Amino acid sequence: MSALDLVFTGDPKLFSIVGLSLFVTLSATVAACAIGLPLGAMVALTRFPGRNALIVFLNGCMGLPPVVVGLLVYLLLSRSGPLGPFGLLFTPRAMIIAQAALITPIVAALTRQLIEDLWAEYRDELTAMAIGPAGRVATLLWDARFSLVTIALAGFGRAAAEVGAVMIVGGNIDGFTRVMTTTIALETSKGDLPLAIGLGLVLIAVILLVNAMAWAVRGWSEHHAG
Amino acid sequence: MRDSAQDESMRDRTSTLPIVFEAVAFAAGETRVLRNVSLSLDAGPPTVLIGPNGSGKTTLIKLAMSLLAPTAGRIRHAQADRAARRQAMVFQKPVMLRRSAGSNVAYALKAAGRAANAATVMKLLDRVGLAALADRPARRLSGGEQQRLALARALARDPEVLFLDEPTASLDPAATKAVEDIVAGAAASGVKIVMSTHDLGQARRLAGDVVFLAKGCLIERAPAQRFFAAPATPEARSFVAGELII
> Is the model's pLDDT at A222 over the cut of 80?
no
pLDDT < 50 regions, chain B: 1-6, 8-11
Q: Is the pLDDT of residue A51 over 50?
A: yes
- Boundaries of every domain in chain A: 19-183
B75 three-class SS:
strand
- pLDDT surpassing 90 at residue A9: no
- ipTM here: 0.85
Three-state DSSP at A8 gives helix
Do the beta carbons of residue B79 and residue B12 sit within 8 Å? yes
CATH number 1.10.3720.10 given to A19-183: yes
| Pair B31, B59: CB distance under 8 Å | no
Contacts of residue B117, defined as CB under 8 A and 6 or more positions apart, other chains included, come to B1
Interface touch B98/A145, C-beta < 8 Å: yes
pLDDT at position A179: 93
Mean pLDDT taken over chain A: 91
pLDDT at B241: 87
Is pTM beyond 0.90? Reply is: no
| Predicted pLDDT of residue A152 | 93
Residue A3 pLDDT more than 80? Answer: no
Q: What are phi and psi of B90, to 5 degrees?
A: -115, 125
Residues of chain A with Cβ-Cβ distance to B98 below 8 Å are 142-143, 145-146, 225-226
Interface test with A, best of B12, B16, B77, B98 (most A CBs within 10 A): B98
Domain limits, chain B: 96-156
What chain B residue is nearest to A141 in terms of C-alpha separation? Answer: B98
* Beta strand spans in chain A (E): none
